[in-house]
Structure 1
Amino acid sequence: MLKIFSLTAILEGISYLLLFGVGMPLKYLAGIPEPNIYIGYAHGFLFIAYCVLAVLFCYERKWGLKRFLIIFIAAFLPFATFYIDKKYLKPLEA
């Protein structure tokens, strides 16, 4: 479960950056909405997967509400899922 959650955290962070760094500028500045549709679908799926896995992972590890909220809120902030992976998930792999 750790590897799946770690991979999902990284992919969710990448999709977030692609959506707001590539998709939105293409849609609103260049008038090309098509890439935004596909990036948006991928990001939506990865966002939901990250949130569900966060609940399951925190429950499995018996982590408290504070740690869960930190991990959950990270899904809404750019680069934050990369931080979660490095600070909370990578040390568990060692």
Structure 2
Amino acid sequence: MLLKIFRLIAILEGISYLLLFGVSMPLKHIAKMPEPNIIIGYCHGFLFVAYVILALFICKKFNWGIKRFLLLFIAALLPFGTFYVDAKYLKPQLQF
């Protein structure tokens, strides 16, 4: 159950990352519309923190170690990184 929640948060975090830097930042700086950036920024911040906390719990529960946690953390900092983590590490864990 925790892995399914983490997977959902990972996907949502990735989507919020793309929305933040692909949609709301250009709106803020080019169209001078800061409102979407504020809303999406708060959502992305919450999802990022939830992702990192859940990554700690998941790594502890599955004995994945510090290297896997660092991979999960770095993936959250890169565009499309959480989608890669989902496909490579999370989805296969659910198929046993």
TM-score (norm 1): 0.98
Structure 1 stretches of 4+ moved >6 Å: none
Number of the residue aligned with 2:26: 25
Number of the residue aligned with 1:71: 72
Unmatched runs of 5 consecutive residues or more in structure 2: none
* Cα deviation, residue 64, structure 1: 1.4
Secondary structure of the 1:31 match is coil
Unmatched runs of 5 consecutive residues or more in structure 1: none
Amino acid at match of 2:82: T
Work out whether 1:53 is the aligned partner of 2:47: no
Deviations 1:10-39 (A, max 9, x none): 000000000000010000000000000000
CA distance in 2: counterparts of 1:65 and 1:45, whole angstroms = 23
Deviations 1:35-57 (A, max 9, x none): 00000000000000000000000
TM-score (norm 2): 0.96
- Report how many aligned residue pairs link the two structures: 94
Matched-pair identity in %: 68
* Cα deviation, residue 67, structure 1: 1.0
- CA RMSD between the two structures: 0.5
* Cα deviation, residue 92, structure 1: 0.7
Work out whether 1:42 is the aligned partner of 2:52: no
